[in-house]
Structure 1
Amino acid sequence: MRIQSRPMPFTEEQMKQVFDTNMIDFALQHGFEIEKGDRHSVHVKNSGGLYLFNHGRGYYCFTTERKGNIIDFVKDYFGQDFKGAVEMILGCRAYEMTEHYIPPSEKNPKGDLILPPKDKDFNRTIAYLTKTRGIDKEIVYAMINAGKVYGARTEAKKDGRTYAFHNCAFVGYDETGKARYCALRAPSADSSFRQDVENSDKTYGFCMEGHSNRVYSFEAPIDAMSHATLCKLHGIDWRQDHRVAEGCLSDKALYRYLQHHSEITEIVFCYDNDMDGKLKDGTPHNHGQVQAELSAETFADLEYKTFIQTPVNKDFNLDLLDLRKGLTHISQTEREQGQER
């Protein structure tokens, strides 16, 4: 059954203007007084522990332990709901200059994304995802067949020699089928290499399109595929629900996805469980779960039903690997008991 949902209240252009609005300029225009903080932030006078980051796109309050983007800031400090916050911000021109703040230089417009060439075969990528990461083979091949996962080969020259690098590529597409985002990851448990391809647009995430009215939001493609595998192992049709991977702690790809899927009424935030996370001053801080709570509140204000699904370990891939180990142990025990009989 297809559930008809309300249209998104703001256009993509309006939301871009909202997220491009400099938070420090906005705060100054609305009566906040700014004083020197540290090299990364400025302090708001008479606020206790409220700091605005120098790049103008976020804040953190040590008193309330809350952080977020400019929408969260307006909701927290001006008593607005989501709609009221966006309307208030749209009355402030994006990156309006003030004499109190010198913004970072503007980046040149992004060019077209050029995907890395495909490797002669995808054996490394398939082995890494299915064996090292424990993702179900059916899911891996489904993503490969959809062009959303492939083995990439890049080359670099040094000292007159050419070196080849093999990586897993995870691709996000726009509504016309054009590739707009690509994340690379080394197909090895011993390598921490990960990188977005130049000119990638994170508002186009790695997506696993479903048919239901529910979408799951993740930080990384491997987590989305791992979650789908966990569902399959528990007898749930992994194709039924939608999944979006942001490639970071952000809701931009989710917001764009929702604009083109009006049937979605429920959002489940599945961000990392950063149990050992810390702020720069050493204060314990679970980055993924703090963002999940903020995101759930933001989209609840848009009249979506929101939920948070927290992995037992740091992420859903580690949960999957733990389950795989448990199933292997059970299988081994059953074999040994069968031999004893």
Structure 2
Amino acid sequence: MSKSSRPMPFTEEQMKQVFDTNIIDFAVQNGFQIEKGDRYTVHVKNSGGLYLFNHGRGYYCFSTQTKGNIVDFAKEYLGASDFKSAAELILGCSAYEGTTSLVPNIEKGPKGELVLPPKDKSFDRTIAYLTHTRGIDKEIVYAMIAEGKVYGARTEKNGYTFHNCAFVGYDKTGKPRYCALRAPSSDSKFRQDIENSDKTYGFCMEGRSNRVYEFEAPIDVMSHATLCKLHGIGWREDHRVAEGCLSDKALYRYLQHHPEIEEIVFCYDNDVDGKDAKGQPHNHGQIQAEISAETFADLGYKTFIQTPNTKDFNQDLMAYRGLLTQEAMPQELER
């Protein structure tokens, strides 16, 4: 009995177009910013260690040690669920110009106005992701939502609807100046800053003490606050700032508006498996923490480094919640 073959969703010409589309042009068309890398690559800004090859055929990420072609890129960084949706995203863009196109260096103009992505009808995905997948305390998540610093965003692109977590930073007048998106799924690596975001306005949790903790990502900020709460420490007491990258730009601005701060604790990632562009071991987060601690000590601040036991404070939180669950199990069995 013969089996009927499944029809191919794309023609041969379309498949050629997919793999002949230059990955650098495709990334730029979808809002990624590039900067000079080395002889063979360009670096994707605000991505950690994501590099795109100059020949336009693929990418490599040093922080995750993953590589792939343009279809893999669409799935990993643009939220495409499978090959078909990835190919449709690529075919729907205007980046197809052959295999040797390179994006020219463009002079930076002044930033325009930041336009926040529309809010989703429901924040259920965002709340479930942060509380269940990431283990962040519900009180903290709802507090950030009430302050407008976290919400569920809904965006449309090429006929597809994307649901993401939005993390917002404000200026002293309450105007949004920075917004980062992250897919509400542990299976997706999609993260992106909204156009015209200003990283000097980080995701912040204002405190009452003279101490500020600095992190790379908003999820680590809320995870650290959760760990404090679990240990009986008031999570509203100290200040917290997320940079959205390995930088101190948001911290500099935050300190200008909080002269009461005297102590800075640098809580960057513990990249024990990190490598530099040459493939050599390089703990990006802790090296930057040491540089930053020395820099701000010279400015008169008391500086400290708090290194996560795992890669970051969210992984520390999840590990701690796992221990609490294990400790609770014998008690349940005794009942």
- In the alignment, structure 1 residue 124 sits paired with structure 2 residue 121: no
- In the alignment, structure 1 residue 220 sits paired with structure 2 residue 221: no
- In the alignment, structure 1 residue 39 sits paired with structure 2 residue 39: yes
Query: If the length of structure 2 is used for normalisation, what is the TM-score?
Result: 0.69
Residue number in structure 2 paired with 1:112? 113
Residue number in structure 1 paired with 2:205? 208
Kindly state the Cα deviation for residue 187 of structure 1 after the two structures are TM-superposed.
0.4
Q: Distance in 2 between matches of 1:130 and 1:305?
A: 33
Residue number in structure 2 paired with 1:241? 238
Residue number in structure 2 paired with 1:298? 295
Q: Distance in 1 between matches of 2:240 and 2:314?
A: 15
Q: Distance in 2 between matches of 1:279 and 1:244?
A: 26
Residue number in structure 1 paired with 2:176? 179
Q: Distance in 2 between matches of 1:288 and 1:332?
A: 36
Q: Distance in 2 between matches of 1:261 and 1:106?
A: 34
Equivalent of residue 269 in structure 1, options 266, 269, 282: 266
CA RMSD of aligned residues (A): 1.8
> What per-residue deviation string (whole Å, max 9, x for no partner) do you get for residues 188-211 of structure 1?
111110000000000000000000
Kindly state the Cα deviation for residue 39 of structure 1 after the two structures are TM-superposed.
2.9
Residue number in structure 1 paired with 2:63? none
Residue number in structure 2 paired with 1:286? 283
Kindly state the Cα deviation for residue 105 of structure 1 after the two structures are TM-superposed.
4.7
Amino acid at match of 1:39: R
SS at structure 2 position matched to 1:236: coil
> What per-residue deviation string (whole Å, max 9, x for no partner) do you get for residues 20-52 of structure 1?
xxxxxxxxxxxxxxxxxx6389xxxxxxxxxxx
Residue number in structure 2 paired with 1:164? 161
Aligned residues: 238
Runs of at least 4 residues off by over 2 Å:
38-41
Equivalent of residue 231 in structure 1, options 223, 228, 231: 228
Query: If the length of structure 1 is used for normalisation, what is the TM-score?
Result: 0.68
Identity level (%): 76
Residue number in structure 1 paired with 2:315? 318
SS at structure 1 position matched to 2:321: helix
SS at structure 2 position matched to 1:327: helix
SS at structure 2 position matched to 1:293: helix
- In the alignment, structure 1 residue 188 sits paired with structure 2 residue 185: yes
SS at structure 1 position matched to 2:324: helix
Q: Which moved more, 1:323-332 or 1:218-227?
A: 323-332
Residue number in structure 1 paired with 2:136? 135
Amino acid at match of 1:116: P
SS at structure 2 position matched to 1:207: strand
SS at structure 1 position matched to 2:232: coil
Please list every run of 5 or more consecutive structure 1 residues that lacks an aligned counterpart in the other structure.
1-37, 42-52, 56-103
Residue number in structure 2 paired with 1:333? 330
Amino acid at match of 2:139: E
Residue number in structure 2 paired with 1:14? none
Kindly state the Cα deviation for residue 311 of structure 1 after the two structures are TM-superposed.
0.1
Q: Distance in 1 between matches of 2:119 and 2:277?
A: 39
Kindly state the Cα deviation for residue 337 of structure 1 after the two structures are TM-superposed.
2.2
Kindly state the Cα deviation for residue 286 of structure 1 after the two structures are TM-superposed.
0.3
Q: Distance in 2 between matches of 1:268 and 1:136?
A: 22
